[in-house]
Structure 1
């Protein structure tokens, strides 16, 4: 730092981070609006055009999650490799461009009233393929554009962008869809283009490597082996995987909106926005007052609380109560996500961050998309309410098992990198 130049005290004082933050907000707003409505449209098409029962249409929502997960599973190693070998801005911009094309196709086919189940599943798979490249590249950018002491705050602010967009995207998209069905997808496409332009204005981001470059296949294998051998990383990543895999109430929100609470697409938008509202509030608080001590134990308690609130949501028959519970679910989930994201980023060397972020992203995607599959199948067998209760109870059990199986998680007390590594290796 040159003489007379003051070190930044907030990530928002860094121009590259501000552009990164805004690009993330726009892309997530567009994606959440598009994906929530895609699920509602699929459920609506299954019920109205194909004459399916509630159970049969619920199962189609589960298949929608599977359609998004398959490309994620296949392409995750390549996505992590791309984030570690190429300019991370270009990788993120390219993936956002694919998602923008999906939004354009949805807008046109919605306007023409030409949607059917095969088309919707194909578009969901294309979105899954794009999303797998966005996660690792965007997650790995932040540590390169802010100094390490500001990284936990940068992650909290990035979570605010994510969660605020997750509030606004579904809510605005649902309200607009109720009036003009094709317009939300058109807005999503425009926002994707804007996000592409913004992320490309950030200074070039490429991973720093020590020693001679490894061959691509060896890099992929090295990233997987590194996560497997580091029990702390493995515990963090798999905790989220199995807990959210079971507690996947979000996948069944179209069922609750249409056939249990009877609130339609507007209500669905509000219900999808509610968890993000709670999460955004906690993320805002964490950006000013980040957690400092006993972070591992707090992460475990947050996951257990998420499971308990999931059970409570299943029995609600009042929209306002459901929204309140969903907001609390988002709040406790944000605590877990904030801690886990910070720990994974701080524990991982920079030259492996892309691949580790890709594996972490695969776990998140598996918990979300395969969670939708599990929820759809469980709903077909137990009904929507029974499926949500089963999932919430499962998340609590997973938390108890992981607290015992991975004591490293309980021992993590701080976000200081050297102290953290010493704590979890004790």
Structure 2
């Protein structure tokens, strides 16, 4: 019986991808953390200008996810990822040189950062599309767990590492370190053998985009997953938008306390990713898919409860659950997409999934508007209601009834 739950051994080719992914994700997080610090400390910009910088660093996810998906379905995904990571390395080295020659300005930092994030988008779209060609279908959950574990470790440690590097050794070494990580990611990708895919007929890009979108929006399993993910991103960024001022004013937390509470989100993500393979092997596949949205609702309800029972511990537990449950969602739904999507469409379907990130600024804007008019407490109640909606969408879908991972579509 224990053999049934033993994690499948992943091939060396995939392990190179996993290490490349860790290096790439770490490079992204270090650079994203360093950029606003450099803007404030080195360039002396104010809050409004840092907001413009953050906009430049998030726009590529909306602008280039779909084109990246088209490229991932037309050419070698390994080469595309290597080229994208190489582009990021060059952009980071440009920032390094501008700092070294004392030529860095906010527009140049924003432009170079924009180019670097374009590389991030392409890598993020192509990686999930490449995984099914490197591992067996039964190994997909374990492989996706490894990919997400790397992302969560980078997400949890990268910002702190970026801040420490800028504070201790300066801005230039921080970007140099991130560029070195990107170069390591490229080198690791060079050792991966990618099986040849059947060449697809070249059509107009709009036809291919429509095909990918139609596949997701008409698929009985993928459509509710996309809708749930869009609503989840809206609710989570609404909550995050108001938490810091709420925590200081209502929960009485210091800056250290706020940081510790937010860190529980990363801790939950790491633990969830570590346990994902075991959870998926022990529970029906559809139940695992439903766990993330339900846990998100429970977490948001706990945070709303702190308006009546102010408790830093309850807020910390809320963030822990908000990390642990949804990471199971990411791993299980990525496995679902890889299983039910024809290989020729994987890039575009992966890109459409990335497009759900467009809900994040919607949530942040909602937090700014509602919080400014009615206060943070109302935002927390609204976030809980939106989390309830995303749980309802997935719980009424056929996805939660799946007894096991679907058979791979060839």
State the match for 1:18 in structure 2.
Answer: 15
Whether 1:242 aligns to 2:231 is yes
Distance 2:99 2:314 in 1: 32
Distance 1:139 1:242 in 2: 22
Residue pair 2:86, 2:183 contacting (<8 A) in 1 also: yes
Whether 1:80 aligns to 2:69 is yes
Whether 1:333 aligns to 2:330 is no
State the match for 1:281 in structure 2.
Answer: 271
State the match for 1:184 in structure 2.
Answer: 174
Residue pair 1:247, 1:388 contacting (<8 A) in 2 also: no
Whether 1:149 aligns to 2:138 is yes
Residue pair 2:7, 2:277 contacting (<8 A) in 1 also: no
Written as runs of structure 1 = structure 2, the 5 A alignment for 1:242-281 is 242-248=231-237, 249-250=239-240, 261-263=253-255, 268=259, 274-281=264-271
Whether 1:167 aligns to 2:156 is yes
- Which secondary structure state, in structure 1, belongs to the residue aligned with residue 224 of structure 2? helix
Written as runs of structure 1 = structure 2, the 5 A alignment for 1:27-426 is 27-38=24-35, 49-50=45-46, 61=51, 66-107=55-96, 118=107, 121-182=110-171, 183-209=173-199, 213-217=201-205, 218-248=207-237, 249-250=239-240, 261-263=253-255, 268=259, 274-310=264-300, 312-313=302-303, 315=306, 323-363=316-356, 365-381=357-373, 387=379, 390-404=382-396, 407-417=397-407
Residues 3-28 of structure 1: per-residue CA shift (max 9 Å, x gap): xxxxxx86654111111010001111
Distance 1:393 1:173 in 2: 35
Stretch of structure 1 that moved more, 197-206 or 254-263? 254-263
Residue pair 1:313, 1:325 contacting (<8 A) in 2 also: yes
Return closer, same or farther for 1:64/1:185 CA change in 2, 3 Å cut-off.
same
Residues 133-175 of structure 1: per-residue CA shift (max 9 Å, x gap): 1122111111001111211111112222222222221232233
Distance 1:375 1:237 in 2: 22
Residue pair 1:170, 1:272 contacting (<8 A) in 2 also: no
Return closer, same or farther for 1:164/1:339 CA change in 2, 3 Å cut-off.
same
Return closer, same or farther for 1:93/1:295 CA change in 2, 3 Å cut-off.
same
Distance 1:15 1:30 in 2: 23
Stretch of structure 1 that moved more, 110-119 or 237-246? 110-119
Aligned residues: 396
Residue pair 1:81, 1:219 contacting (<8 A) in 2 also: yes
Distance 2:389 2:38 in 1: 34
Residue pair 1:208, 1:350 contacting (<8 A) in 2 also: no
CA RMSD of aligned residues (A): 3.8
When normalised by structure 2's length, the TM-score is 0.81
Distance 1:253 1:120 in 2: 29
Structure 1: which 5+ runs fail to align? 1-8, 421-426
Q: CA deviation at 1:216?
A: 4.3
